[in-house]
Structures are given as C-alpha cells and as structure tokens.
Structure 1
Amino acid sequence: MKIFLWRSSRRSPPIMTKVGLRLRNCVSIMFKVKIADGKKKNGYIQLFFDSLVNVCANTTAHAIPNIIHTCETFIEYFQYPFTVHLNVYEKDLVDFPAVSICNLNPFDTSKPHTLKYIKEKLAEKNLSTEVHGTDDLPALYQVRQAMKVLKASEMYDRDVNKSFLEYDMGFKLDDMLISCYFNGERCDTTNFTTFFTFEYGNCFTYNKNDFEHKIHKTSRSGPNSGLTLELFTGFPGKQDLFLEKKGLYIVVHNNSYEPDVKFEGMKLPVGFSADVSVHRYFYNRLGPPYGSCKEDTSKSNEDDPEFYKATIALGLYSRRICLEICIQNLFIIPRCNCSDPSIPIVNNSYILCHTMDEINCIDKVRNELDTRDLSIDCDHECPVDCNKIDYEISTNFADYPSEYYFHTIENQPNLSNKFKNFGNLTYSNFKQSVILLNVFYKDLAYSFLQEIPSMHFADAIGIIGGQIGLFLGCSVLTFFEPLEVFIEVCYKLLTKPRKNIIQVKASI
C-alpha cells in the first residue's frame, strides 16, 4: 500500500510593520470592521488588506504609506503654534516714562474743613475718631473700616455735589514737594498733573503726555540721572488720622494714560532714600486664531462686548479695569443696589455705596468672589490687548536722612514752613515724615517680546509637498503596481486554499 500526502501550498503572510499597523487601523476605522493580525481573517477585507500591505512593503515608491505622516503636519498647522522671540534693542535717546506719586494718607487733617468733614461723616455712621482695639474688634479692623467709610463718603459727595470739589480734603503737591530735579535740572509743581483716586485722594503725575506738557527725553541712565524728589508726607501724630502706615505710592507707567493705582505700582516707606531703576518691555501678541487677544484696543465696534466698550469710553483700555466693571455690574450692583466707589463709574443710574451696610455688602461680595472662577463670567467681556508696554522696576533703599543732611536742610524755608504749625522740627519728626525718591533707567535698552507663527499655510503645503517629493519616488514600474494589486486579489479569489487531503490507494 502506497500512501501519498498532498498539502496545499500558500505564501507566508507579510510582516506587519508599523506602516501596516497604521494602515490596518485606518481601514478598521473607515470600514468599521476589526481586522485580525494574521490569525483570524475577516473575509474579503482581510484579503484585500494583506495584498495592499504586501505591495506597500515592496513597492518601488518605497514609502507611499508615509503620506499618512502628512496628517500630522495638518494637525500641527491647525493647532496654530507660535514661538516667542526676545530681542533687546539699544537706543541713545528715549522717552522718560511717566511717574505718578500719591500720599498714602488721602486726608490732610491739618486743614480745618477736612477735620470737620471727617468728624461729621463718622458721626453719621455712629463712629468716633477715638479708636480702642478689643479682642473682638482689633484696632486694625476698626481703623480700616473707618477709612473705607471716609473714602466712600468723599467719593459719594464728589459725585452728587459738584460744589464739593472746591473743598480739597487731601494733600496738594505744594504741601508735599520739598525739591525736584530731572537730570540735574530744577523742576516744580508746574511739571505735574493732578488726578483723583478713591484709594489715595490726590495723585500727581510727572511727564504725562498732554497738551500742557512736553514729554521729557533722556540719554542718561543710572542712579545719577532721572527724576529726584524730596517729599513730605505729613507730620507724625498730627496728619495721620486713621492711617496704620505712612509713605508714598509710586507708579511708573506709559506717558499716554492715567494709571490704575488699585493694581499698579508699589508703596515706599518714609525715612529712606529709594532708588527705583526701570527697564522697558514691549509685548506683541498674536490675535486669532493663534490667541484670544484684541489687536486694536484704541476703539470699539458695535459687536464688541458691552464691558469692553464701557472701558474704552473711559479712555485707554485696561483689562483689569474692564474686569472690575464686569464684577461691578454682574455681582456688586445686583446684590448691594449701589456701585463700588473704587470702580470707575460707567452707569450714572446707580448711586455710589457709602453707608456702613453698603460697604459691608461690597466686602461680602468680594470675599465670595475670591473662590469663584471669574473667567467664566468676564473673560469673554474683557479681551487681552495684543500690544502692551510694561515697566519692570527694582528698588534699593538707604537710610535717610543723615544727621549732617538734616542739620543742613532743617532751616530751608519750604521745609520749615511745613512743620511750623506743629512745633519744633526735630530729626525724629523729619525722618518720620520725608522720603527721598530717585527714578531712573537701569539702561537705555528695551526688550521686545514678539509672538511669531511657527508654521504658515505655505509652510504646511511645502512640508507636505516635500514629503511627497522625498518619499514618493516613482518609476515606470510604479504605475503598474495598482495592476499588480488587482491581479493578486483576483488570483487569491480564484485560487482559494484547499483543505489538506490524504489520498490512499490500495493495491491488492
């Protein structure tokens, strides 16, 4: 008996490379079928797929599957990536920045009408000028509450009674200025402009760009240049009612706008010489689709957000002021039925909060907002501006004055006149009342930070074209490969594998 064993012969399936794996995943997604990994077949789809992978792995256009990589280029492009370029430029002559100063004490109680006003307003609120701290009501809380009431009352009276403006409650620049120099040349009160703030009352700006003043330029840097001021802040124990700290508030800012002292600037203590060095930063951000900033914040359009337009109406756009206006209208006014006097007025239909209950209501709303994500409510109303100038400042302090300098200046008329109503001028009183300030450029260079697109549309097309040109190296044989796929698929369909057959022929 002879036994013949016949077994069907099949070519081994191609090796599944990373390219094949990507193709299998793509086909699975497109046809919503699961393609086996060479173990379990899924009919004609699997048959076609095996043939496609085989041709792609051996094609003369040896990297057709790399066209898949081009989708990564598209994904990257539509993520709108950008890079930040930092350039430092040197200049020989630059505009000196605007410098705004405020006395931390908003009320000059040496003026009889100011002291009378304070007593009347406190009496209306059942408060007294005499503060005695307790465990339940610490002195710091009582002093700050009294100051809030006085500031709010003054803002309310200024708003409803225009004749009230004639009664200046705060310090004037003549009351404060002892000496003024810019790059070694004398300056005086005529070089300053005055503006009023809720926080500090009268504030004064040097080198503001307006019709009355010309911007000062400088070609000098370092501590021996810039603006030098000697300032009197009030006699200790006589001109510091409801004030827990004494000193000066300073803001270095762009010449074209009035600063928001609620968010910008820093406090400087009396009894010191403060050197404030300045470095300029210019920012240029990308607008949509790369970012959400607004390119032109000098004007508003009809389709702009309501609070953005309200901020523009006040003057130069500030996102922080816009956010405050948003908080005012969405949270404070609906809850307290009045507006926070520390926020600019944009709607005259609401009165300013000025009673104790109203001020406590504002504090309560503010405390609740501390744990709330305000971006949900206000981000769309207050866009970031694409172009911005920032002044980075650093400070150094030295003890001021020396004993020698005090004895040199104590008989200077414009200084002694500030103390004559309070008794003899002593070194201790002088040190607790006066500050020496010097603002200067650290250097004349400025830093320019610019956002630049990492990929333009032309770049994306170029990359894709380059990939096709690099990887789709075609020959004459390449054009016959689709025919090869067709022939191979037809062959496999016509020559289906046969089962193993054992034929036994018996001979007797």
Structure 2
Amino acid sequence: MRWLKKRPEKAYCRLLRENTTFHGIRDSIATGGWLRALWICIIFLASMAALIGCGFIVWEFNNRPLSVTYSIRENVSLIIPDIIICPFNRFNKTYLNYWNVSDNLAQYLELAFPQASQHPFQYKSYKNLIDKINELEEELNKLLLNIGISFAEFIDKAAINCRAFFVNDKSICDNSKELMSMTGKCFRIKGEEQKIDGNGHPQKLILNLPTKLFNPAPNQMLNNGILVKLAERNKGIDHDMSFIPAGVHAMIQLTATRFEFKHYPPHFLCREEEESYSRVWCFEKCFLEEAEKKCNCSLAAASQPGSPNICTPRQFFNCFYIVLQFTNASYVDDNVAKCKTICLPPCRNWRFDKTISYANFPSEIAKHFVKDKTKWENLQNTIILDVFYTTLDYTVIQQMLTITPSSFIAQLGGQISLWIGGSIISVIQLIIYLISYLFVYFRRTRQETIKRMRENRKRRKSELFNIEKNKKEIALEGGLPEPAEIEILCQKEKRKIKRKNKKEENEGEEISSKLKKEIKIRKRRRKIGKEIKFDSSQKSDKNNVENSDYNYEMDDVNCITARV
C-alpha cells in the first residue's frame, strides 16, 4: 500500500471502481489489451448518446414548453352573452329643444365625441363648427350656467333613454347597464340561460328606433340601424361588433369557444383572470391617462372615464388632441406599442362567433293589419333580434405544458439509465468522488511544493553559512582547504557570473563602463588578497600540496579560489 501513502487520491479511484453502477467501467478496468479498448469505445459512445438525448430533452423543455389541445364539451345549458346595443345617435332632440339649444350649438355638442366625418357632405358643416369654436364654447358655458349642471351631467341627461327603444317591454331596461361609446350611449342587456339547442328558446329583443328624437351631427354615422356587440357576462367588452339595419328580423346564431391559456413568460404572456377585466378598457386607460391628467377631463366616449369631468369640444381640440399628438405618427405608434405590452390578453375567456341572417320587417302583407300610417312607420323602424346557440356544446382550446417538471426529470433519468445505467445516486456518487479526488490531489501537491520550497531555502542558508565559515577559517587559522573543495563551493556563483557576462555580451550595452567597474573591483580585491600571505616552506597535511606555492585572493563573487 506504499502507492496509497504516496498518492492518497488514488483511494477514490478504487472506490469508484468498486462501487459504481455505471455500465462498462468495471469491465474496462478488469480487462486488458484490445478488449479494454473496445470497452472504452463502448462507454464513450454510450455516454455521448446519453448526452445527446439529454440535450434534446433540455432543448425541447426550453424552446417548446407549451402545446395546444382542442376538445369539444357538451353542457346541459349555456349562458347567452350580454348583448350591447348602440343606436347611431347621441342626443335627444326633444331635450335640446326644451332648453332652447340652437342648431349650431346642438351640432357643436356632437364634437365632444371625437369621431371624424364619414361623408364629404358633412365636411363643410364640420369645418364651420371648428371655425366658431370659441363663440360656441361661450354659448355652451352660458347654457350650463343657466341649467345649473356640469357638462358631464348635461351629456348624461341629453342622451336618449333606454325606455325610448324598448317600448313593448320596458322591464328590459331595469336590468340593463349604460355605457358610452363613439356612437353615444349604449345599453348592456344581461344574457339569459339557454337549455335547448337551436331556435327553440332564443333570447328575443324588439327595438323601436325613435327617429324623431335623433339629432343630426356632422361627425355621426348616418346609418339607419343599430350596432350590436356581445360580451361575456360580467366581463369587459372587446372589439366585436355587427351592424343591424332598421326594419329587419335578425337571427344571431352563436357558437362558443373557451380559451384556457397559461401565463408562461417569455413564451406566452397573458393576464390572469380578474373581475371585469377588459383589454379594450385597459388600452383605453393606458392611452388616454396622460391626457386626462393634463387636461383634467375625460372624453365623452370613454367607457370608463378617468376623470369626473367631461371635455368640452374646445378642451378636446385645444388640449386633449395636442397632448395625444395625433399628428406625430411615430409618437402614436410608440404609445400604442407600450400600451399593448401593458394590456395583455386574458388567460381565460370566452369567444362568441356570430352568424347573422335577417329578413325585411314588416312585409307588404302586414299593411292588411296596420291601417294607421304612423304605426306603419314605427314598424318600419323596428328591429327584432333572436339570439341563440345552435348547439349547447362548445370548443375548448387549452394550453398545456409539453413537458412537466416531473416528466422532464423522468425523461433525463430514462436517458441516463438507458445508455449508461446510471441514476441520481450514481451521478451524486461520481461527483463526490471526483471532488474528493481533486481536493486530495491539490492538497498533496501543495504540501509537496511547500516542503520543497522549505528544503531549498534551508539548503541555500546552509551553503551560505558554510561559505562564510570557510572564509573565517582561512582568515584566522591560516590553513587552506583543498582547491577542489573550494571550486565546488563556488560553482554556483561562477555559473551566475557566466550567465550574467553572456547576457551583457549579447546586449552590447554599456560594455565599456562595466569593464571599467570590473577592473576597479579586481584591483581592489587583488590588493586585499596580497595581505593574506603564507609561508611557502610551511609543511601542510591534506590541505596543502608539497613543493607548491599558492597565491589566494578574493574574486568578485566573494568566494575563495586557488591560483597556482
């Protein structure tokens, strides 16, 4: 076991050979020759295959963590989404006439809703209102002062009430909610529960458009009908919308899709489910927040105003529009991109796909039942909506982890076990033995290095001590050591002098000055050497040579050399 004392780290190699469960290691150690070479090749190829397999698993886990699954689920019943109805009118003409609002001021009020003109014949009126903006603003302030309300209260009261549209069933408005949009005030009607497939039990809505109450506007959509949006119950709206003309019986057939995504950055980002979260509302708040703070007012069309004050048309053009910098396309694009990163799509939500079909209502044959001209005109402005699911099943689009953490670990273990027969314990064992081997090896080499340095330092001190001792013996006793022994003591210094001289010759710099200095040193030391004289007739033992005269001197390395 001498090898173990000299190299203690070998003990860990022996432990690995005896205890490891990795296939082929024991066989490669126990055999020899071509068979050992074969086993080494097999172990190498198996290890490379295990590494490649583990690499593919890690790459798949990092780059393709999510997969999408589709499934169909059937329910006993489904909730019809909330139906949002937006008439193409903003103000009640009867209310404006009650307060003696002039025609120019009535159209000026429409500019509080920032929507461009739709047709060329509206441009002239729009431009005339902009030219008179200061005059009409003063008239508006006088009107509000006379009524004694704010502009926000005026916008709310001047809009057409929900009951004006649902004449036949006014109870619908009791459960509806009001919200503002570019077209004016909209009404959100709660969806009902459908328990039978198809058109058996749809949610039916009958609207009568009170066209006599409509106020014309230079920036309004002059369509004869309504705008319909669908939204998940108790959730925010999205960009879904459809036009329904007046005088039709429309059937809105629905199919539902359920999305269940995972917030898994950086591969997919979404907003965890929150009560009444809407990406449209979030984007609106992000995009308009700075302008609302600086102008201290919100747009009349804001679905969720950030300020209790509503911007008048002059405030919109002189402040709100300038802060938003619509003329600077790059600024608007940057602002939109920033808001998109903030307002992520919801992780779980419903999408309702619509198929709309309609027929004209009423038909000419209905005149047989309606003799009154006014009633006939009202029927022509009637819209009937039937909203229903074609089937009570829905599609589920779900994101799932391609490889779960437990599956990831299991697959890595399977690759290692398949190719090299290892396990977690085997890998930990290998790491422990490797770290222990390196620790003992470096500790041993460090100790040996320190020991050699100490021995060299001790030897150098001993040599210097012997040289000084020889000097003193020569000077005091008058005896001389053997010339050969003196040469041995001075070999090291002579070699240093030779290397130094050779370097000086190669460099060729300052040779003359160094030679002069060397001559002076030699003369000085010759002078010192002459002071040490010995009797040539004195008999000596082993330290002297008979019938020989020696002249000793101190050379330029401070050691004694013998010259015959």
1:91 is matched with 75
1:382 is matched with 343
Q: Compute the displacement of 1:123 (Å).
A: 8.0
Cα separation, 1, equivalents of 2:71 and 2:129: 46
1:291 is matched with 268
Q: Compute the displacement of 1:197 (Å).
A: 0.8
1:232 is matched with 208
The verdict on how the C-alpha distance between 1:144 and 1:77 changes in structure 2, with shifts beyond 3 A counting, is farther
**Secondary structure, counterpart of 1:404 in structure 2:** helix
- 1:85–1:452 CA contact under 8 A, matched in 2: yes
**Post-superposition CA distance 1:82-139 (Å, at most 9, x none):** 1111221111223333222221212232445478446363587899xxxxx9xxx922
| Pairing of 1:164-175 with structure 2 (within 5 A) | 164=153, 168-175=157-164
Number of matched pairs:
364
1:66 aligns with 2:25: no
**Post-superposition CA distance 1:52-98 (Å, at most 9, x none):** xx879942565221123112211221235211112211112233332
The verdict on how the C-alpha distance between 1:163 and 1:120 changes in structure 2, with shifts beyond 3 A counting, is same
The verdict on how the C-alpha distance between 1:278 and 1:323 changes in structure 2, with shifts beyond 3 A counting, is same
Q: Compute the displacement of 1:432 (Å).
A: 5.2
Q: Compute the displacement of 1:280 (Å).
A: 1.9
Within the candidate set 293, 299, 313, 1:354 is matched to: 313
| Pairing of 1:456-475 with structure 2 (within 5 A) | 456-472=404-420
2:225 is matched with 247
| Pairing of 1:335-350 with structure 2 (within 5 A) | 339-344=298-303, 347-348=306-307
Say which is worse superposed, 347-356 or 288-297, in terms of deviation. 347-356
1:197 aligns with 2:171: no
- 2:254–2:355 CA contact under 8 A, matched in 1: yes
The verdict on how the C-alpha distance between 1:91 and 1:178 changes in structure 2, with shifts beyond 3 A counting, is same
Cα separation, 1, equivalents of 2:109 and 2:375: 38
Task: Give the aligned residue type for 1:90.
Answer: E
The verdict on how the C-alpha distance between 1:234 and 1:94 changes in structure 2, with shifts beyond 3 A counting, is same
1:442 is matched with 390
1:222 is matched with 198
- Where structure 1 has 5 or more consecutive residues not aligned to the other structure, the ranges are 1-53, 128-132, 181-186, 209-215, 299-315, 412-423, 475-508
The verdict on how the C-alpha distance between 1:118 and 1:89 changes in structure 2, with shifts beyond 3 A counting, is farther
Task: Give the aligned residue type for 1:425.
Answer: T
Cα separation, 2, equivalents of 1:318 and 1:395: 25
Task: Give the aligned residue type for 1:365.
Answer: F
- Where structure 2 has 5 or more consecutive residues not aligned to the other structure, the ranges are 1-36, 112-116, 423-564
The verdict on how the C-alpha distance between 1:166 and 1:295 changes in structure 2, with shifts beyond 3 A counting, is closer
| Pairing of 1:486-501 with structure 2 (within 5 A) | none
Greater strand percent: which structure?
1
1:400 is matched with 361
- 1:339–1:353 CA contact under 8 A, matched in 2: no
The verdict on how the C-alpha distance between 1:220 and 1:146 changes in structure 2, with shifts beyond 3 A counting, is farther
* TM-score (norm: length of structure 1): 0.60
**Secondary structure, counterpart of 2:326 in structure 1:** helix
1:138 is matched with 120
**Secondary structure, counterpart of 2:342 in structure 1:** coil
Within the candidate set 409, 413, 425, 2:374 is matched to: 425
The verdict on how the C-alpha distance between 1:376 and 1:197 changes in structure 2, with shifts beyond 3 A counting, is closer
**Post-superposition CA distance 1:316-347 (Å, at most 9, x none):** 221221112111135x4588786444335664
Cα separation, 2, equivalents of 1:258 and 1:146: 38
Task: Give the aligned residue type for 1:343.
Answer: A
**Post-superposition CA distance 1:452-472 (Å, at most 9, x none):** 000112222222222222222
Q: Compute the displacement of 1:433 (Å).
A: 2.1
The verdict on how the C-alpha distance between 1:343 and 1:105 changes in structure 2, with shifts beyond 3 A counting, is closer
Cα separation, 2, equivalents of 1:90 and 1:456: 28
The verdict on how the C-alpha distance between 1:366 and 1:274 changes in structure 2, with shifts beyond 3 A counting, is farther
The verdict on how the C-alpha distance between 1:178 and 1:145 changes in structure 2, with shifts beyond 3 A counting, is farther
Say which is worse superposed, 391-400 or 162-171, in terms of deviation. 162-171
1:121 is matched with 105
- 1:106–1:200 CA contact under 8 A, matched in 2: yes
**Secondary structure, counterpart of 1:63 in structure 2:** helix
2:10 is matched with none
Cα separation, 1, equivalents of 2:148 and 2:321: 21
- 1:279–1:446 CA contact under 8 A, matched in 2: yes
Q: Compute the displacement of 1:348 (Å).
A: 3.5
Q: Compute the displacement of 1:281 (Å).
A: 1.9
**Secondary structure, counterpart of 2:414 in structure 1:** helix
- 2:152–2:309 CA contact under 8 A, matched in 1: no
Task: Give the aligned residue type for 1:139.
Answer: F
Cα separation, 2, equivalents of 1:159 and 1:62: 90
The verdict on how the C-alpha distance between 1:378 and 1:387 changes in structure 2, with shifts beyond 3 A counting, is same
**Post-superposition CA distance 1:424-470 (Å, at most 9, x none):** 4275x446522222111121112222110001122222222222222
Q: Compute the displacement of 1:205 (Å).
A: 2.8
**Secondary structure, counterpart of 1:425 in structure 2:** helix
Cα separation, 2, equivalents of 1:296 and 1:189: 29
Greater helix percent: which structure?
2
- 1:61–1:471 CA contact under 8 A, matched in 2: no
Within the candidate set 329, 336, 342, 2:289 is matched to: 329
- 1:83–1:453 CA contact under 8 A, matched in 2: yes
1:271 is matched with 247
Cα separation, 1, equivalents of 2:163 and 2:284: 33
Task: Give the aligned residue type for 1:294.
Answer: R
Identical aligned residues as a percent:
18
Cα separation, 2, equivalents of 1:438 and 1:146: 43
**Secondary structure, counterpart of 1:220 in structure 2:** coil
The verdict on how the C-alpha distance between 1:194 and 1:279 changes in structure 2, with shifts beyond 3 A counting, is same
**Post-superposition CA distance 1:396-448 (Å, at most 9, x none):** 1212211123443565xxxxxxxxxxxx4275x44652222211112111222
Task: Give the aligned residue type for 1:171.
Answer: I
- 1:109–1:115 CA contact under 8 A, matched in 2: no
Cα separation, 2, equivalents of 1:101 and 1:380: 30
Q: Alpha carbon RMSD of aligned pairs, Å?
A: 4.3
Say which is worse superposed, 66-75 or 197-206, in terms of deviation. 197-206
Higher RCO (C-alpha under 8 Å, 6+ residues apart): 1
Q: Compute the displacement of 1:275 (Å).
A: 0.9
The verdict on how the C-alpha distance between 1:147 and 1:402 changes in structure 2, with shifts beyond 3 A counting, is farther
Cα separation, 1, equivalents of 2:250 and 2:45: 72
Cα separation, 2, equivalents of 1:265 and 1:159: 37
The verdict on how the C-alpha distance between 1:86 and 1:197 changes in structure 2, with shifts beyond 3 A counting, is same
**Secondary structure, counterpart of 1:105 in structure 2:** coil
Say which is worse superposed, 365-374 or 270-279, in terms of deviation. 365-374
Q: Compute the displacement of 1:245 (Å).
A: 1.3
